[in-house]
Structure 1
Amino acid sequence: MDLDEVADRLYALPPPEFTAARAAEARAAKDAGETRLARDIAGLRKPTVSAWALNRAARRHPGELQELFDLGRELRAAWEEHDADALAELTRRRGVITGRVSRLVQEGAGLSSAAAAEVDQTLDAAVVDAEAADQVRRGRLVKPLSYSGFAPAPVPRGGPAARKRKPGAEDEVAAARARQEAEERRARERQEAEAVYEEWRDAVAAAAQEQRARAEKVARIEKKLAKARRKLGETEQRLEVARREERLARARLEP
């Protein structure tokens, strides 16, 4: 058993099953004497619903996802080469392929509108960023991804130099980029906080369920104990009566 093997199993599970399965895997590693592995397993983060849907798609629809990743590679290359015609065609294909993959990811997942938006956000990140694409491909996401830079978009013929900017336009672009990055950072922080909250909420629910089960067991034991004590008292009374009668009988035998 190693961490990669366990992680592959865990991140294939729906979020409601993750916490209990992770605890079982960590316990099995600990029982096998692999203390460090047990700690590493216990540290695996529970995925959000949108991350789970993407992880599931990485296992069920690898071919469709690869088509999206390939398009992203072509799109990035066209952007670097300032090929406006290629960018226009790839951008058109991007909309079609991303829409198809998004539907596959969401199919049967029961996602909310917010989670569906996170899926689309992650797919967009995978198109424009090779590292994001690799994370989606591995199928071990714990939260949705976002891209902090500017996504490739069609450029005029002649490349960026052909675009005439008004005075102060560069400052406006920098300010817009700073606002975008700040908004995305806040969104990531909120997503992380929500993931942590959901994990602890599940942990509280599991602990409360275990506490109720143990309390019921203790109540049953205490009831049996009370009954046993009552029977013990009755037995002690009979023993005392028998001893008293035995003494009286012995006394009558004495001359």
Structure 2
Amino acid sequence: MTAPDAPEFEDAADELYGLHPDRFVPRRTELVKAAKAAKDKETATAIGALRKPSLGAWLANVLARESPDEVGALEDLGGHLREAQESLSGDALRTLTKQRRDLVGALVARARKLAREDGEKVGDSVARDLEQTIAAALADPDAARAFAAGRLTTALEPGVGFEGGSSARSAGGTGTRRPPPPRGTRPAPTRRREEPEEPEDEGPDPAEEERARAREEAERAVERAREARDDAARAAERARHRAEQAEGDLTEAAESARSLRERLERAEAEETSARETRDGARQAAEEADTAADEARRALDQAEAERADLE
């Protein structure tokens, strides 16, 4: 019975780095088993060594596959920016800086849309990872080519030494290779040339399987740590938002209290004035009553005197 064809390493890498990180390890395991079944231990080992990408790296890989022209333009734009900086060309630098800002904004917005289509909501920390990768691609031609290759495992950082190299086995390498296929496509199988029949495989190597399990467990631990970091970042963002709201509420309450105090002070002043007016009116009324009594007595006396004269 003829052994099944082993998956080609380039095809396997292209497929894996187009998958969401949650689907990376199960599919890698399937491809490793397929290579072993085809008795291609070298390819099985190479595929097994491929590292699962972080969410930020996956987002960059998806963007490179879906918007290759825009991502490919980063290398040229970065070169023009460096030339403008070296020549101290202010006008050119301002124009290129605006182009960079517009391009970065458009790429991040495009990546967020692609992630939503894949059921992934991109948080601020993942978006910052993508922005850093774009900045690194603008600053370093090797980083730009690695970004365009669509096989990043971690987000690139501007200003940090970048490991290039042209190894066809390197997931982040910058060697010449065909462009990655669009998301959701599977590369066509490639027929391998007939090779001499190898001795029957003696079965899986327990030590290799143990190392593979350890690698997968380490990857899961790293992913859990990243998720915890992202959750903490989101919680901190929510807490900052609540603090800003509380600060606004406090300012509004203080303003309301100040207004109420001013109204209370005016009301108290008006009350004092009204009381004084009332007291003055009462005193005037009492004096008027006294005068009226005196006038009545004078009238009575005058009437009495007139009666005596009659």
TM surpasses 0.5: yes
- Aligned position for 1:199: 219
Alignment match of 2:20 (pick from 5, 14, 22):
14
1:87: how far off?
1.3
Alignment match of 2:142 (pick from 131, 155, 160):
131
Alignment of 1:42-191 (within 5 A): 42-109=48-115, 110-148=121-159
Please tell me whether Structure 1 or Structure 2 has the larger radius of gyration of its CA atoms: 2
Q: Deviations over 1:102-154 (max 9, x none)?
A: 111122421121111101111111111111100110000000000226xxxxx
From the superposition, tell whether residues 131 and 51 of structure 1 become closer, same or farther in structure 2 (CA, over 3 Å): same
The 1-side partners of 2:103 and 2:223 are apart by: 38
- Aligned position for 1:29: 35
1:76: how far off?
1.7
- Partner amino acid for 2:53? P
The 2-side partners of 1:72 and 1:96 are apart by: 14
1:202: how far off?
9.0
Q: Identify the structure with the greater helix proportion.
A: 1
The 2-side partners of 1:64 and 1:119 are apart by: 14
Q: Deviations over 1:24-62 (max 9, x none)?
A: 001100110111111111110000111111111111111
1:198: how far off?
6.6
1:4: how far off?
1.7
The 1-side partners of 2:31 and 2:48 are apart by: 8
Tell me the secondary structure at the aligned position of residue 145 of structure 1. Answer: coil
Q: Which runs of 5+ in 1 are unaligned?
A: 150-194, 205-255
Q: Contact between 2:52 and 2:153, CA under 8 Å: does it hold in 1?
A: yes
What TM-score, normalized to structure 2? Answer: 0.48
Q: Contact between 2:24 and 2:52, CA under 8 Å: does it hold in 1?
A: yes
- Partner amino acid for 2:68? P
From the superposition, tell whether residues 85 and 111 of structure 1 become closer, same or farther in structure 2 (CA, over 3 Å): same
Tell me the secondary structure at the aligned position of residue 94 of structure 1. Answer: helix
The 1-side partners of 2:19 and 2:58 are apart by: 8
Q: Contact between 1:78 and 1:86, CA under 8 Å: does it hold in 2?
A: yes
- Aligned position for 2:203: none
Tell me the secondary structure at the aligned position of residue 146 of structure 2. Answer: helix
From the superposition, tell whether residues 197 and 71 of structure 1 become closer, same or farther in structure 2 (CA, over 3 Å): farther
* Equivalent residues, number: 159
Q: Contact between 1:19 and 1:203, CA under 8 Å: does it hold in 2?
A: no
Q: Percent identity?
A: 34
1:5: how far off?
1.8
The CA RMSD measured in Å over matched residues stands at 2.4
What TM-score, normalized to structure 1? Answer: 0.58
